[in-house]
Amino acid sequence: QVQLVESGGALVQAGGSLRLSCAASGNIFKINVMDWYRQAPGKQRELVARIITGGTTNYADSVKGRFTISRDNAKNTVYLQMNSLNVEDTAVYLCHAEVMALDRFTYSFWGQGTQVTVSS
């Protein structure tokens, strides 16, 4: 089993910044992909940013140029630096990881989520 623990969500004014963190622990051989999703009330869960082994990143069009995903492999931690926040960024942000466990099988895990609220 793998645990993903997110932190960093908060209430912030429009134009402000936040940094989310997600630390993975447990039965980990290596982590192939770590990403951030978000889900706003009444909306579908959407992929915000992804970082894969080797450092390749992908972003949703709505956050390109404002958000930056990074990863500390030694700490099994992924970060999401969010700048120029606007009210449309308000959502629960969830960390997701595709993990190769010690049995060499790959599993998908989700964190509990952290609330980001942007006020106008």
Q: Counting Cβ atoms within 10 Å, is residue 76 exposed (0-12), middle (13-18) or buried (19+)?
A: buried
User: According to the model, what pLDDT value does residue 54 have?
Assistant: 85
Give tens-digit pLDDT for 34-91: 999 999 999 999 999 999 988 899 999 999 999 999 999 999 999 999 999 999 999 9
Encoding tokens for residue 71? Answer: 């990863």
User: According to the model, what pLDDT value does residue 24 have?
Assistant: 97
User: According to the model, what pLDDT value does residue 118 have?
Assistant: 98
Total residues found in the chain within this entry: 120
